[in-house]
């Protein structure tokens, strides 16, 4: 698998794949130590306004595939990529769990129509 070289290339890829989805989809990008993509895993498919995020399952899968870091991605079918309170809380829970197991949660990206928002860039995911 290729190295995920730039954030803009990743954002473009995600907008094409998820930007117009009618149901919320959650996926986990599992990366190795060189930031090469090991697995692009569709973690959950939800409804028009939510998808389940089970931190235990996400971390278990990361361990199973040998990922050293992950990027969490989901879309907002409404088109508005601003994170909800629930998005932020779930991300922090996942980051804490990952940290204790030497897995880095690099980012949580939310895909809307024409825009991708990074929780890390918003300062909502600790460094």
Domain boundaries, the chain: 7-118
Cα–Cα separations (whole angstroms), residue 2 to 33, 36, 56, 97: 13, 6, 27, 27
- pLDDT over 90, % of the chain: 78
d(CA 59, CA 96): 11
CA distance 44 to 9: 23
Predicted confidence band at 127 (pLDDT cuts at 50, 70, 90)?
Answer: low
For residues 57-71, give the mean pLDDT.
Answer: 97
pLDDT grade, residue 9 (50/70/90)?
Answer: confident
Please report which confidence band the pLDDT of residue 4 belongs to, taking 50, 70 and 90 as the band edges: low
DSSP secondary structure letter of residue 61: H
pLDDT category, 72, cuts 50, 70, 90?
very high
Structure pTM? Answer: 0.92
Backbone φ, ψ for residue 58 (5° rounding): -65, -45
Q: What is the CATH number of domain 7-118?
A: 3.40.140.10
């Amino acid at each position: 698998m290729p190295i995920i070289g730039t954030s803009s290339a990743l954002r473009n890829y995600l907008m094409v794949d998820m930007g117009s989805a009618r149901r919320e989809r959650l996926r986990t990008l599992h990366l190795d130590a060189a930031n090469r993509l090991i697995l692009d895993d569709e973690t959950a498919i939800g409804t028009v306004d939510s998808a389940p995020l089970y931190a235990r399952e996400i971390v278990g899968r990361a361990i199973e595939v040998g990922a050293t870091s992950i990027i969490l991605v989901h879309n907002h079918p409404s088109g508005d990529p601003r994170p909800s309170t629930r998005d932020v809380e779930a991300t922090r829970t996942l980051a804490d769990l990952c940290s204790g197991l030497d897995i880095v949660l690099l980012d949580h990206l939310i895909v809307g129509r024409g825009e991708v928002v990074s929780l890390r860039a918003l300062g909502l995911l600790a460094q």
